[in-house]
Amino acid sequence: MSPAWLAFLKRPTIENVQISPDGTRLAVAERATAIKVPVLIVHGKLDARVDIAHARRMTKALRQAGVEVESHEYTNAGHGLMLDADKVDFYTRLLAFLAKHTQARTGAGARTADAQ
């Protein structure tokens, strides 16, 4: 990773829009209308790297764009889940989200254990 990217990643995130070292505008919430699949957003309220306001803004933007979004905030989590209870909750939510929004392929396009 380039020194410019390392410096960028170490900066505290304050604004919704940042400019990356290569000049690319990074404003994910502005691109919510381009997202056409359901989204799961989880965020720690104690995250010192990425302010929770970003997750909230993205959730709001997705909902306004008509995108199905599920979001959850972890009260005692930072930029990662450290508590076992949070990890169990997250993976339970993730599995439920995937079960709801994905389906097993059946028929001619499906791969079976025998075909592998």
pLDDT digits over 41-92, tens only?
999 999 988 889 889 989 999 999 999 999 999 999 999 999 999 999 999 9
Domains and CATH numbers, the chain: 3-102 (3.40.50.1820)
Query: What's the mean pLDDT in 3-24?
Result: 59
**Rounded to 10 degrees, what is the CA torsion of 7, 13, 14, 17?**
90
- pLDDT for residue 108: 53
Cα–Cα distances in angstroms (integers) from residue 82 to residues 4, 74, 75, 77, in the given order: 29, 11, 12, 7
Q: How far apart are CA 88 and CA 37, in angstroms?
A: 25
- Distance of alpha carbon 39 from alpha carbon 62, whole angstroms: 8
Is the pLDDT at 12 greater than 60, yes or no?
no
Q: Is the pLDDT of residue 25 over 70?
A: no
